[in-house]
């Protein structure tokens, strides 16, 4: 049985919504629907009760889900057994990751993969724009990248998680009591940003320009802790990803969602043109299984 279909089934069972599940699978709703129907034809039963608003597992689906979990787990176990027999140079991966990997629980994910797979892993941390270069030139076998920019569509992408861009203000700011903020409301503010030329810097600058103004940048720093300290001392405002703002700092600053919401995803990326090694296949299978849990 095609494990891709099993992963599709598990993700749809998790989210109970074709639109959300299709986005997680990086396919269209119609493609996901066709895959689920193909799985149902193979099994000879209907697995979901479908309504206009959601889909729910029926009794057949609930029974099948338990077996699908076992089949996916067995696939991982099989890969692990086979990979343990490979020479070391064929059983290794160089994985790239954004510097904030711990904030997105990527350290947990990678550690769990290493312990369960037996694959020898080297981790390289770098900004997203650098990771894309490392993937293309073969320096990385896979990379966890935030806000992937892939105009030539050379990467395969598996979404790991999402994050939301937030306005960060001093507690005594006159807008600090708001529940949402529009970017335009910050046009008179000084901005404290990550380094010039970085993807987060460009994201903020382009977002401000889309809203009719160029941000007045008063300070840049590679350390988010320094940016937050400057904001808390009233030297400007910042736009940061929510998961990068630790709870300890939220006592000294006010964090407000933007309207409309700005979300970004963190994806596991590999080169489409590269023939995947057994270790790469195992990593991809492991991540898909973890995502469906």
CA distances 134 to 22, 34, 194, 203, Å, are: 28, 36, 22, 21
Smallest CA-to-CA distance from 176 within 250, 259, 254, 258 is with: 254
Residue 83 — pLDDT band, cuts 50, 70, 90? low
pLDDT tier at 282, thresholds 50, 70, 90: confident
Weakest-pLDDT range from 57-61, 179-183, 272-276: 272-276
pLDDT value for 248:
63
Position 189 pLDDT exceeds 80: yes
Are 204 and 215 in contact by the 8 Å Cβ rule? The answer is yes
DSSP H helices, 84-145, are 106-117, 128-136
291 and 158 Cβ atoms separated by less than 8 Å:
yes
- 27 has pLDDT over 80: no
Residue ranges of domains in the chain, CATH in brackets: 3-83 (1.10.10.10), 88-161+265-292 (3.40.190.10), 163-264 (3.40.190.10)
Task: Determine the average pLDDT of the residues in 174-186.
Answer: 96
> Does pLDDT of 169 surpass 80?
yes
CA torsion sign for 293, 258, 268, 227 is: negative
Residue 223: per-residue pLDDT: 87
pLDDT at 61: 93
Number of H-type helices and E-type strands within the chain: 9, 11
Residues 218/219/224/227 CA torsion (nearest 10 deg): -60
User: Given this model, what pLDDT does residue 247 score?
Assistant: 63
The segment with the largest mean pLDDT, out of 102-106, 113-117, 143-147, 224-228, is 143-147
d(C-alpha 271, C-alpha 223), whole Å: 30
pLDDT in tens, 129-167: 999 999 999 999 999 999 999 999 999 999 999 999 999
Q: How much of the chain, in percent, has pLDDT values that exceed 70? A: 93
pLDDT at 63: 95
Instruction: Give this prediction's pTM.
Output: 0.70
- Segment 232-273, tens digit of pLDDT: 999 999 999 999 887 666 678 999 999 999 999 999 999 998
Greater confidence, 53 or 186? 186
Does 89 have pLDDT greater than 60?
no
């Amino acid at each position: 049985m095609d494990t891709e279909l099993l992963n599709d089934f598990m993700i749809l069972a998790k989210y109970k919504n074709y639109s959300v599940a299709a986005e997680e699978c990086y396919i269209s709703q119609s493609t996901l629907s066709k895959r689920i129907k193909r799985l149902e034809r193979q099994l000879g039963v209907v697995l979901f009760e479908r309504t206009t608003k959601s889909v729910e597992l029926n009794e057949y689906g609930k029974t099948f889900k338990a077996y699908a979990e076992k089949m996916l787990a067995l696939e991982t176990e099989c890969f692990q057994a086979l990979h343990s027999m490979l020479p070391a140079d064929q059983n290794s991966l160089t994985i790239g990751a954004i510097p904030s990997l711990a904030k997105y629980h990527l350290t947990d994910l990678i550690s769990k993969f290493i312990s369960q797979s037996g694959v020898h892993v080297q981790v390289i941390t770098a900004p997203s724009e650098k990771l894309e270069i490392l993937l293309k030139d073969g320096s990385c076998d896979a990379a966890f990248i935030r806000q992937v920019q892939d105009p030539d569509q050379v990467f395969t992408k598996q979404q790991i998680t999402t994050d939301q861009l937030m306005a960060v203000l001093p507690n005594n700011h006159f807008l600090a009591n708001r529940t949402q903020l529009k970017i335009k409301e910050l046009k008179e503010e000084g901005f404290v940003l990550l380094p010039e030329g970085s993807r987060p810097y460009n994201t903020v600058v382009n977002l401000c320009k889309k809203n009719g103004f160029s941000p007045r940048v008063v300070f840049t720093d590679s350390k988010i802790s320094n940016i937050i300290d400057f904001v808390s001392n009233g030297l400007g405002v910042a736009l940061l990803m929510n998961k990068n703002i630790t709870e300890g700092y939220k006592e000294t600053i006010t964090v407000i969602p933007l309207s409309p919401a700005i979300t970004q995803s963190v994806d596991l990326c590999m080169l489409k043109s590269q023939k995947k090694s057994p270790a790469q296949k195992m990593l991809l299978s492991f991540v898909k299984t973890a995502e469906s849990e």
